[in-house]
Amino acid sequence: MTTVETAPVQTTEKSAEGLVERLFGAMLATMDVHAAYLGNRLGYYRILAEQPVTSSELAACSGTAERYAREWLEQQAVTGILDTDADVDAFERRYTLPAAYVGPLVDAVDADHFAPFLQFVVGAVKQTERLVEAFRTGGGVSWAELGTDARQGQGGANRALFLGPLGREYLPSIPDVNAALRAGGRVADVGCGVGWSSIGIALAYPDATVDGYDVDVPSIETARQNAREAGVDDRVRFHAVDAATVNPSGGYDAVFAFECIHDLSDPVAVLAAMRRLAGDRGTVIVMDERVAETFTAPGDEVERMMYGYSLMCCLADGMSHQPSAATGTVMRPSTLRGYAAEAGFADVEVLDIANDFFRFYRLG
- Same-domain check for residues 172 and 103: no
- Same-domain check for residues 86 and 143: no
- Same-domain check for residues 36 and 100: yes
267: in domain: yes
- Same-domain check for residues 85 and 179: no
d(CA 275, CA 363): 9
183: in domain: yes
- Same-domain check for residues 188 and 283: yes
d(CA 201, CA 160): 13
- Same-domain check for residues 75 and 207: no
21: in domain: yes
Task: Judge whether 143 and 150 are in contact, CB under 8 Å.
Answer: yes
Phi, psi values for residue 209, rounded to 5°: -120, 145
User: Cα dihedral sign for 262, 142, 312, 259?
Assistant: positive
239: in domain: yes
- Same-domain check for residues 103 and 134: no
Among 42, 74, 107, residue at a domain's last position = 107
pLDDT tens digits for 44-95?
999 999 999 999 999 999 999 999 999 999 999 999 999 999 999 999 999 9
Mean pLDDT over each residue of the chain, to the nearest integer:
95
Q: Which amino acid is at 40?
A: N
pTM of the model: 0.91
- Same-domain check for residues 57 and 136: no
312: in domain: yes
Q: What is the pLDDT confidence band of residue 143, given thresholds at 50, 70 and 90?
A: confident
Task: Judge whether 355 and 2 are in contact, CB under 8 Å.
Answer: no
d(CA 207, CA 238): 17
Phi, psi values for residue 289, rounded to 5°: -60, 140
CATH number at residue 24: 1.10.10.10
- Same-domain check for residues 158 and 267: yes
d(CA 287, CA 352): 12
Task: Judge whether 174 and 285 are in contact, CB under 8 Å.
Answer: yes
Q: What is the pLDDT confidence band of residue 166, given thresholds at 50, 70 and 90?
A: very high
pLDDT tens digits for 280-310?
899 999 999 999 999 999 999 999 999 999 9
140: in domain: yes
- Same-domain check for residues 229 and 359: yes
- Same-domain check for residues 79 and 132: no
- Same-domain check for residues 240 and 173: yes
pLDDT tens digits for 47-59?
999 999 999 999 9
Among 107, 132, 157, residue at a domain's last position = 107
- The structural domain count of the chain equals 2
pLDDT tens digits for 20-49?
999 999 999 999 999 999 999 999 999 999
Task: Judge whether 335 and 263 are in contact, CB under 8 Å.
Answer: no
Distances (CA, A) of 47 to 60, 115, 196, 278: 11, 15, 26, 47
Which structural domain range is residue 337 located in?
121-363
Q: Cα-atom radius of gyration of the chain, to the nearest Å?
A: 22
Phi, psi values for residue 130, rounded to 5°: -65, -40
Q: How many CB atoms lie within 10 A of CB 132?
A: 10
143: in domain: yes
**Helix (H/G/I), strand (E/B), else coil: 89:** coil
Among 107, 131, 160, residue at a domain's last position = 107
d(CA 202, CA 209): 7
Q: What is the pLDDT confidence band of residue 12, given thresholds at 50, 70 and 90?
A: low
- The secondary structure element, H or E, covering residue 197 is helix 196-204
User: Cα dihedral sign for 239, 245, 251, 252?
Assistant: positive
5: in domain: no
d(CA 337, CA 347): 8
CATH number at residue 185: 3.40.50.150
DSSP code string of 49-75: HHS-B-HHHHHHHHT--HHHHHHHHHH
